[in-house]
Structure formats: structure tokens, C-alpha cells
């Protein structure tokens, strides 16, 4: 790799900051979130949104609780211009939502932008930008540092002339590529704008400092933001904003550290859409705060609905492993993870019971799950899924949540071997239904050679008949333990077994008033398990003995390959 062709950002931008305060700061409240999906995110689409999609996405943002929304680049296309007019004409924006429109520092484009917001009763922000970094000054604009400063001032005057008289209009300035701009120069042009626009606490100016191209580790961005935060003139009349991109894959960290460093406002896209590798992901940022006990001030309680709308509007899928929203982010396939999650759910239920409160009312502290999936509208059904990497904990969890089947621990261990063999052979993920079918196939097999032809048990008597290869053994049995009597009958019929233990369970989801018996037995020196289902504990235990006899008669043949995985 020709790494020698690139320079360390420290050689390009030196931030005069030595006594950093951001490393010891804490985020205790959410910043103002400003989604730019309708502008920046829309520009990044191979097929930009049509009016119907833009409207659907705007209405989603309003429903989620965003109070400031950048709605477009009105001078860039007729579609964007018309959409801004639609917001006014269709009265789409509640009165507490601020509308932001974006423009370069060029008079004709500023005029078009101001025209687009005429008549909008909501608060409006006119967002003007100019590239300020040396490479952009020299190669794109072809201007010196002083000439760029004059260009910015001229654009600011045009904005003030054309919109300054409207009481509902405020101003925003972005020194594009802030991260590669000399700190003294960016401070100079930002202070010139707050002076020109007469920023006051009652009518603050937004200074937006973008990582237009992410080029350094997040601590460098934090230093740059803190330097501006501590040195800007009229600081109490400035809303300090950031707009991180994700070129290095650390946009989330850049935004979080920027807030620690003094940023009050974050621009991004709902799920991180945007040019190249995207804008910063607001959903992740907001839910990171939620996971730390800080109200994100945005409603992600139905995250799947939000995802469906965003995917429809952008025609871009959200990845399965996307934080918080992906299909698999609350799913564990690993056996160790599954076991820990299963135990964590059980402990959570116990804590709630001891406190006499619902599970949704007590602090969340479950291994591997930083938030309760229910907070974002996810059920627990998909939390644990089973494949060849899974273990007994996940298997037991699926059977329990899917069918109310609670396997004894030693049976969990034994059954896990059968599941492992099945998944290794098929390569498929298995569902709760497949697990139940495999469980019955292995531990409650049906044999044509063996059947329980009579099972009459009441409080005072028990009468059993076991048929093996056409021969019937029939007798009165011990009413206290008919399974023991039936095991003796099976042994006499040439199917030797010793009952070691019988565990009973009520299983309403298996059948009305159904009882399950888990039989642990020894045959020919080998300990095995069998399962029986009946209308009473005694009948279930007897059917488990018959299942054991069927397993013995089949010489413990392995039947898992006969189970369907689809």
C-alpha cells in the first residue's frame, strides 16, 4: 500500500489547544438533532426522492419529534423548490417545527432560496455555506484566503438584505471542510458572520462546523470543536452545531466527542445515509444516549416502522447488523451469548417479582443486550436463534418461549448434541418449530413394534397393557408410580430399562391441560432420556416409558436427519 503518499492530519491542521476539557465532560442531555435526509441524504441517492417520498419522510420526522428539519436545497432543483412550497401550501409543518433550507454563498442562489420560503409561518433557518479549506480554496474556488473571506461576507450580506427583515428567519453558516481549515481562519470567518448578522441570545446564529470529509481520529475533531467553543465571539448568541460524515467509520464517535467539547446541535441522517460513506447516524447517537439513561428527545419506540419508511423513501436497505435497527442486532446465535441472555432474562423477571413491579419498570441489566428490545418495538421472539454455533441455552430459550417447554438441564445438554448434528448436516438455522419436531422425533419416537394398548389410572387403581411385537403384557400397576411398573413390564418384554428420574411439567401451549413427563432412564449401562405427553402426570410418565422402550428397540438409532428444517 502506498501509504507514503498521504499526510498525517496533524501536519495539515494544528489545533492550539492544550488544556482540553472534553475528556472529563459527560453528556447529560440530548443535543438538538437536525435530520438532513431530505437534502444531504437525498443528494446521495442514485435516484433522488420524488415528492411523494419526500413528503412521507418529512411526515415521519415530524411524528418522531424532530423540531428542526433541513428540507432541501431549493436552488439546486425544481423538485426541492416545489417541496418547500408544498410544506407551506399543504401546511405540513406543525408550528413548533423549524424549517431549514440550504444555499451556497451566491446571490442568485440565495434569492431563489429566500423565494422558496416566502409565506411560511414557521420559524425558518437559511443555511449558507462556503468551502474554506486550503485545497478547496485553491483547486475548487481558485481564490486566496482573503478572497474567500470576502466571498463569505458578500453572501452573508445578501442573506441579510433579502431575508433579514423577516422576524421568523434566522441564519446558519457552515465553513465547509471545517476539519481541514486553519483554526485561526475559520474563527475569523465565523466571528465575521455573527457580527454581520448581529447574533443575540434572542436571535442566535447557528455556526455549523462540518467534518465534510472525515480525515482524523475523533479526538482531533473534539479539539477543533472545543477550540471554537472557547474562542468564538458572542458565544452566548451562537448555537454551535456539527455535521460529521463517516469516511473513516468513526462519525458516531466524532459527534459524541464534539458534544462533549461544546456542540449543542448535531446534523445527520436518521440511519446515516449521505454522500460516500454517509452522514452521522442520528438513530445510533440518540439510542446510545437512551442506553445511558439520557432521554434522546426523539421517539424510536417503533423502529421497524421508521426503518420501513426510510427504506421506501430512499430505496436503500438498512443492513442486518446496523446498530439498534438491523434485523439481527438483538439476535444471538452463539451458545455462550444465548446462555447468558437466557439467564439474564430470568434474573430480570426475578428482580421485578421481588420489587413487586412490572419488568418494564425496573432497571435493565441483561447480558449482551445494551437496551431492552421492547424499547424500540422489538419482541423477544428473535432475540435467540439457533444455528450450528448455538448451545443449549438458546435451544432451551426457543422451546420455552415458543411452546412453554422447559427442558431439565441434563436433557438440555443431551438434546444440544442432536441439534448440533442437525445444523452441521444441513447448514440451516433452525426455528422453534423445527426444534420441537426434533425433540419429539428423538425423545418420543413412535414404534410399530411397541404401543401402550391400555392405560387406565385413577386414585385407587391402575391398569396397564404394553404390547411388544404382538405380545401383550397386562397387569395392575402401582398407583403411586405406574411408570415404574410399566418399566418393569418393558424389561420383562426384552426392553430392559431402569427409571432414574421423572420430571413433570404442565404445558398448556402443547395442548389443553397437557402434562409432559421427562424420563431419565438407564439401559444397557447407558443413560438416556424420553418424553411423554398425556392428560395427567401419571399418563405422561407412562407414555415416556413407552417412548424409552421405542428408543431401546431402535438401538438408539439417530433420527435427526429426518426432521425438516424449513
String of DSSP letters for 364-401:
--BTTBSS-GGGGT--STTTB-BSTT--HHHHHHHHHH
Distance CA 206, CA 175 (A): 12
* CA-to-CA separations, 243 to 119, 272, 402, in angstroms, rounded: 28, 12, 45
User: Are 357 and 422 in a shared domain?
Assistant: yes
Domain harbouring 393, CATH code: 1.10.287.1400
Residue 429 lies in a domain: yes
Domain membership flag for residue 21: no
Q: For residues 457 and 428, state if they share a domain.
A: no
Whether 244 and 171 share a structural domain: yes
Which residues, 6+ apart, have CB-to-CB distance to 300 below 8 Å? 64, 283, 286, 287, 290, 306, 324, 375, 376
Do 364 and 379 belong together in one domain? Answer: yes
Strands 498-506, 515-523: pairing kind: antiparallel
Domain end call among 398, 413, 443: 443
* 15 found inside a domain: no
pLDDT of 350: 95
- Specify whether 410 is located in the same domain as 491: no
Could you list the residue range(s) of the whole structural domain that residue 504 is in?
450-562
Distance CA 257, CA 25 (A): 9
Cell triple for residue 369?
Answer: 443486550
Statement to judge: residues 126 and 230 lie in one domain: yes
- The four Cα atoms 337, 343, 346, 350 give a dihedral, to 10 degrees, of -130
C-alpha cell recorded at residue 133? 479549506
Return the C-alpha cell found at 136.
478547496
| Segment holding 240, helix H or strand E | strand 238-244
Q: Domain end: 443, 473, 495, which one?
A: 443
231: region left, alpha or beta (phi > 0 left; psi from -120 to 50 alpha): alpha
Identify the pLDDT of residue 566.
Answer: 36
Question: So what's the pLDDT on residue 557?
Answer: 41
Does residue 177 contact residue 131 with C-beta atoms inside 8 Å? yes
**HSE value, Cβ hemisphere, 13 Å, CA-based, for 303:** 26
Residue 12 belongs to some domain of the structure: no
What's the CATH code of the domain at 135? 3.20.20.70
Give me the CATH number covering residue 535: 3.30.160.270
Same domain, 272 and 228: yes
Please give the distance of CA 390 from its chain centroid, rounded to a whole number: 21
Same domain, 172 and 274: yes
Looking at residue 455, its pLDDT comes to 87
Q: Do 63 and 139 fall into the same domain? A: yes
221 inside domain: yes
Whether 326 is covered by a domain: the verdict is no
Same domain, 264 and 362: no
Look at residue 1 and tell me if it is in a domain: no
Chain position carrying cell 441472555: 341
Do both 308 and 340 map to the same domain?
no
In a domain, 11, yes or no: no
pTM: predicted TM-score of the whole model, two decimal places: 0.74
Query: Which residues have CB under 8 Å from 222's CB, separation 6+?
Result: 20, 22, 254, 257, 258, 260, 261
Residues 378 and 421 in one domain: yes
Number of domains in the chain: 3
Per-residue pLDDT of the chain (566 residues; tens, 9 = 90+): 998 888 887 777 889 898 999 999 999 999 999 999 999 999 999 899 999 999 999 999 999 999 999 999 999 999 999 999 999 999 999 999 999 999 999 999 999 999 999 999 999 999 999 999 999 999 999 999 999 999 999 999 999 999 999 999 999 999 999 999 999 999 999 999 999 999 999 999 999 999 999 999 999 999 999 999 999 999 999 999 999 999 999 999 999 999 999 999 999 999 999 999 999 999 999 999 999 999 999 999 999 899 989 999 999 999 989 999 988 888 777 778 878 888 898 999 999 999 999 999 999 999 999 999 999 988 765 565 555 455 667 788 888 888 889 988 888 888 888 888 888 888 777 888 899 999 999 999 988 889 898 888 877 778 888 998 888 888 887 777 788 889 999 998 889 999 988 999 987 766 666 899 999 998 988 889 999 999 888 899 999 999 999 999 885 444 443 444 33
Amino acid at each position: 500500500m502506498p501509504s507514503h503518499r498521504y499526510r498525517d492530519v496533524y501536519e495539515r491542521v494544528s489545533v492550539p489547544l492544550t488544556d482540553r476539557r472534553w475528556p472529563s465532560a459527560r453528556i447529560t442531555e440530548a443535543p438538538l438533532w437536525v435530520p438532513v435526509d431530505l437534502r444531504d441524504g437525498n443528494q446521495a441517492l442514485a435516484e433522488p426522492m420524488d415528492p411523494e417520498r419526500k413528503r412521507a419522510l418529512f411526515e415521519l420526522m415530524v411524528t418522531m419529534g424532530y423540531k428542526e428539519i433541513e428540507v432541501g436545497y431549493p436552488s439546486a432543483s425544481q423538485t426541492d423548490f416545489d417541496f418547500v412550497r408544498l410544506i407551506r401550501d399543504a401546511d405540513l409543518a406543525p408550528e413548533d417545527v423549524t424549517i431549514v433550507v440550504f444555499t451556497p454563498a451566491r446571490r442568485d442562489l440565495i434569492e431563489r432560496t429566500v423565494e422558496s420560503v416566502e409565506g411560511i409561518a414557521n420559524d425558518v433557518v437559511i443555511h449558507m455555506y462556503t468551502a474554506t479549506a486550503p485545497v478547496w480554496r485553491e483547486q475548487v474556488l481558485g481564490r486566496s484566503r482573503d478572497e474567500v473571506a470576502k466571498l463569505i461576507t458578500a453572501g452573508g450580506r445578501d442573506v441579510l438584505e433579502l431575508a433579514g427583515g423577516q422576524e421568523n428567519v434566522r441564519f446558519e453558516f457552515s465553513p465547509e471542510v471545517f476539519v481541514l481549515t486553519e483554526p485561526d481562519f475559520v474563527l475569523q470567518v465565523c466571528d465575521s458572520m455573527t457580527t454581520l448578522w448581529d447574533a443575540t441570545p434572542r436571535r442566535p446564529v447557528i455556526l455549523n462546523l462540518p467534518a465534510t470529509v472525515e480525515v482524523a481520529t475523533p479526538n482531533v475533531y473534539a479539539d477543533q470543536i472545543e477550540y471554537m467553543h472557547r474562542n468564538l465571539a458572542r458565544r452566548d448568541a451562537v448555537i454551535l452545531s456539527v455535521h460529521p460524515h463517516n469516511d473513516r467509520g468513526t462519525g458516531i464517535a466524532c459527534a459524541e466527542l464534539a458534544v462533549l467539547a461544546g456542540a449543542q446541535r448535531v446534523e445527520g441522517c436518521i440511519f446515516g445515509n449521505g454522500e460516500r460513506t454517509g452522514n452521522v447516524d442520528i438513530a445510533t447517537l440518540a439510542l446510545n444516549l437512551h442506553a445511558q439513561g439520557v432521554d434522546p428527545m426523539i421517539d424510536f419506540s417503533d423502529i421497524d416502522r421508521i426503518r420501513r419508511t426510510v427504506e421506501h423513501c430512499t430505496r436503500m436497505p438498512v443492513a442486518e447488523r446496523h446498530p439498534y435497527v438491523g434485523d439481527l442486532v438483538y439476535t444471538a446465535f452463539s451458545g455462550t451469548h444465548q446462555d447468558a441472555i437466557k439467564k439474564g432474562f430470568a434474573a430480570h423477571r426475578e428482580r421485578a417479582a421481588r420489587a413487586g413491579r412490572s419488568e418494564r419498570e425496573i432497571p435493565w441489566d441483561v447480558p449482551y443486550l445494551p437496551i431492552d428490545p421492547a424499547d424500540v418495538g422489538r419482541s423477544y421472539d428473535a432475540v435467540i436463534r439457533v444455528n450450528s454455533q448455538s448451545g443449549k441455552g438458546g435451544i432451551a430459550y426457543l422451546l420455552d418461549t415458543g411452546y412453554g417447554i422447559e427442558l431439565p438441564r441434563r436433557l438440555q445438554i443431551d438434546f444440544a448434541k442432536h441439534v448440533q448434528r442437525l445444523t452441521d448436516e444441513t447448514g440451516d438455522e433452525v426455528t422453534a418449530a423445527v426444534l420441537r419436531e426434533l425433540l419429539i422425533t428423538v425423545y418420543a419416537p413412535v414404534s410399530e413394534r411397541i404401543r401402550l394398548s391400555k392405560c387406565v389410572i385413577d386414585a385407587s387403581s391402575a391398569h396397564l397393557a404394553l404390547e411388544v411385537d404382538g405380545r401383550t403384557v397386562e397387569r395392575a400397576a402401582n398407583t403411586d408410580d405406574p411408570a415404574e411398573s410399566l418399566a418393569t413390564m418393558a424389561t420383562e418384554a426384552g426392553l430392559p430399562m431402569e427409571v432414574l428420574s421423572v420430571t413433570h411439567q404442565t404445558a398448556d401451549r402443547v395442548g389443553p391441560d397437557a402434562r409432559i413427563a421427562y424420563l431419565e432412564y438407564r439401559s444397557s449401562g447407558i443413560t438416556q432420556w424420553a418424553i411423554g405427553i398425556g392428560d395427567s402426570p401419571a399418563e405422561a410418565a407412562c407414555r415416556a416409558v413407552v417412548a424409552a422402550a421405542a428408543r431401546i428397540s431402535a438401538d438408539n438409532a439417530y433420527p435427526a436427519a429426518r426432521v425438516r428444517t424449513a
